[in-house]
Amino acid sequence: MEMEMESPFKADILKGKVGLITGGGSGIGFEISTQFGKHGASVALMGRRKQVLQAAVSALQSLGIHAVGFEGDVRNREDAKRVIESTFKHFGRIDILVNAAAGNFLVNAEDLSPNGFRTVMDIDSVGTFTMCHEALGYLRKGGHGRNSTIGGLILNISATLHYTASWYQIHVSAAKAAVDSITRSLALEWGADHDIRVNGIAPGPIADTPGLSKLAPAEIKTQAREQLPLSKIGDKWDIAMAAVYLVSDAGKFVNGTTLVVDGGHWLNRPRR
C-alpha cells in the first residue's frame, strides 16, 4: 500500500473545472484523475475496459469526487466524438483533456510486424490527435459551455524513450516522438487561435504502472538504486502533481512544452 502523500497545492485550485482523461481508469491516468478530483475538478474517464472503469469511478466517488466513466477506444473516431459529447452532456463543459491512453509491449524491431507498429502509433499518436480534434469545439474560447475569453487545456502523456534510443521500443518511441510534435504544433496553432494551452509530461520509471511492470521487470528496480540520479523510482503522484501544475493557472504561461518528470533518469550515464 502506497503512503498517501499530501498535496502542496490548495484544494480548490481546479474548482469548477471538468477534465476528460483517456486511459483514466488505471495507472498514471487514474492518479491524474484522482488528483484533479482532489483539487476540485469533476472528471470523466475514458477507457476500453468496462470493469476497470467502473472500479475506478467507484473509487473516485468514494472520495467525494464527481466522476463518470465512458467506454471507448481512442482509435475509433466515433468513440472519441461520443465520449466527448457525453462528458459535455454530463457536466456542461469540458476544460481539460488529458491524453493518457497508451499501448505498449516489448519487441525487437526485427520481430515487430508493421501492423504491430501501426497499432501503437494508432493508439498513442493518432488517438491523441483524434481526441484533441474532436474536443476542440469544447475547449476553444467561446466553445460549447465556455465564455469568449478563456480557452481550455490539453495535456499529452509522453515518455523519454525517444530522446535517445530505447531497446525493443521502436514503435513506442516513434509514437511518443509524434505526440511531442503534436503538442508543439497544437500549442502554436490553438494557442494563437483559440487560447488553448497544450503541454505534455514525460514520465520516467514510475512505480506500480503497466509501463514499469511490463517493460522493465525486476532489473530496473535493482538498477534504479545505483543508476538513477535521485536513486529512486518515481510515484504516480509525482506525475499527477506536474499535471495539476500544468493545467492550473500556475502554468498559465507554459505552452508547447513537455515537462520531463523522471528524477533525471534519461540524462544518466554510468559514473566513472
Among 107, 126, 174, 177, binds ligand HXC (CB under 6 A): 107
- Tell me how many residues contact ligand HXC (CB under 6 A): 18
Query: Does residue 163 interact with ligand HXC by CB under 6 A?
Result: no
Helices (H), 195-218: 210-215
Q: Return the number of the residue (134 or 262) whose C-beta is nearest ligand HXC.
A: 262
Query: Does residue 164 interact with ligand HXC by CB under 6 A?
Result: no
Q: Return the number of the residue (102 or 132) whose C-beta is nearest ligand HXC.
A: 102
All three cell numbers of 111: 520481430
All three cell numbers of 43: 472528471
Q: How far is CA 168 from the centre of its chain?
A: 22
Query: Does residue 105 interact with ligand HXC by CB under 6 A?
Result: yes
Residue 201 CB, shortest distance to ligand HXC, in Å, is: 12
In 82-116, which positions are buried (b, 16+ CB within 10 angstroms) versus exposed (e)? Answer: bbbbbbbeebebbbbbbbbbbbbeeeeeeebeeee
Classify residue 43 by its DSSP letter. E
Among 13, 21, 102, 186, binds ligand HXC (CB under 6 A): 102
Query: Does residue 24 interact with ligand HXC by CB under 6 A?
Result: no
Residue span binding ligand HXC (CB under 6 A) among the ranges 33-41, 50-58, 110-118, 234-242: 110-118
Query: Does residue 211 interact with ligand HXC by CB under 6 A?
Result: yes
Query: Does residue 172 interact with ligand HXC by CB under 6 A?
Result: yes
- Report the candidate in 168, 53, 50, 49 with the shortest Cα–Cα distance to residue 120: 168
Element (H, E) at 260: strand 258-261
Query: Does residue 103 interact with ligand HXC by CB under 6 A?
Result: yes
Sites for ligand HXC among residues 29-58 (CB under 6 A): none
Evaluated on CA atoms 10, 13, 18, 20, the torsion sign reads negative
Residue span binding ligand HXC (CB under 6 A) among the ranges 91-99, 186-194, 209-217, 245-253: 209-217
All three cell numbers of 35: 488528483
Residue span binding ligand HXC (CB under 6 A) among the ranges 14-22, 33-41, 57-65, 206-214: 206-214
Query: Does residue 233 interact with ligand HXC by CB under 6 A?
Result: no
Element (H, E) at 201: strand 197-203
Distance CA 249, CA 233 (A): 28
In this structure, are residues 155 and 97 in contact, taking their beta carbons and an 8 Å threshold? yes
Element (H, E) at 209: none
Among 54, 76, 104, 257, binds ligand HXC (CB under 6 A): 104
List residues near ligand HXC by CB under 6 A.
102-105, 107, 112-113, 115-116, 119-120, 159, 161, 172, 210-211, 214-215
